[in-house]
Every structure is written in structure tokens, then in C-alpha cells.
Amino acid sequence: MIKCRYIKKFDGKSFMGKNFLKYLFFLIVMFSLNGCSSKIYSELINEDKLYEKSLLYTKKGEIVSSLETKAVVVATYLNPLDQEYDDKDKDYFIVALYAEKDLCKSKAGLESDDCDIRLKDGTKPSKVEKLKKESSLLRYIPVHNGWFKYYLVEFPSKGESKKVSLVFESRRFGKTELVFSK
């Protein structure tokens, strides 16, 4: 029998013994868990590109009086999100509005004479259409709530400006301004 002085007999105490087997077992378990993790995470997390893009073009404003929220306005700039509304002559917004009863007294929402929506330069909307809760346009607004009333608001475009500012105002409690990049 040939003896080699570099090969030791496995006695369980050397590096090639118990410690090595523990490290080897640990590495095998880690690699097997790592191989399954991407599949598990991809099944749990669904990417919604439309939701992500609509978040970029959505702004929120509030009107607060005496530490009470009187109105919440969430608006999504629709032009970059839908080719049907990608018009250089018009700016389209989906506006979600929650207003307390004493904010807009005569009628609820944007139909009221006490509440006003306009651009910062004073331009009034050319069209305000109340949307039903089942409207397909609501997929573009990332905030859904039973308390909101939804509107499609159309303004004439102001040329080549890089920003558009939407102002919601209550004659009694003040205003909030939402600034969007085109």
C-alpha cells in the first residue's frame, strides 16, 4: 500500500471533517433557496406598467380649514397616458374630488357655483364631464375611493409650455394648486 504524507485519514476533527460538512450543507441550502426565490417573487409581485406611469402624472391637493380637511383633489394628466387624448391643442385631466357638504353648498362637486376648477392663468375648462364609477377612464387614476366623484376635464392647451397648473378653489375655504409636467 502506498502512503502519501499529504493525505490524512478522515478523523472528523480536521478541516475536512465536521466543519467542512456543515459549510457544504449550508452552501447547498443557500443556493437552492436562491434558485427558487426569483420564481416566488415574480409570482407574488405583478408589475403594472400603466399604474406606474399614471403615478408619475398624478398629483394630490387638499383644502384645509381650522385643521379640518374640507376637500381632497386628485388629478391625473391624461395626455401622456392615452393616445386618444394626446392632443397638442387640448389638455385632459381626470379629476377625483372629495368635498365636504359645507364646501360646495348648492350642488356637490364641480357642478357647484361655490367650487371652481381652472388653470393657473384663469382659463376655464372647455368641458367638464362627470364620469360613472364603471368608466374605463378610471383605470388611469391610481386612487379609487367610494367617497370621490370623478370628472373628465378638458382645457384648451397653452402652446409649448412645459408645465400646466391646475387650480381647484372653494370661494369659502381657499384653493389648492397642482403642477404637472407635460
pLDDT in tens, 113-132: 778 899 998 889 999 999 99
Q: Band of the pLDDT at 100, cuts 50, 70, 90?
A: confident
Q: Is the pLDDT of residue 23 over 90?
A: no
Q: Is the pLDDT of residue 9 over 60?
A: no
In one-letter notation, the amino acid at residue 154 is E
Distance CA(113)–CA(94), nearest Å, equals 20
Average pLDDT of the segment spanning 64-91 = 87
Closest CA to 163 of 176, 141, 178: 178
Give the pLDDT score at 73. 92
Residue 5 vs residue 175, higher pLDDT: 175
Distance CA(130)–CA(56), nearest Å, equals 23
CA atoms within 13 A on the CB side of 21: 7
Helices (DSSP H) in 45-99: which residue ranges?
A: 49-56
Residue 139 vs residue 43, higher pLDDT: 139
pTM: 0.70
Q: Which three cell numbers stand for residue 6?
A: 499529504
Q: Band of the pLDDT at 101, cuts 50, 70, 90?
A: confident
Q: Is the pLDDT of residue 90 over 60?
A: yes
Average pLDDT of the segment spanning 160-166 = 86
Sign of CA dihedral 158, 164, 170, 173: negative
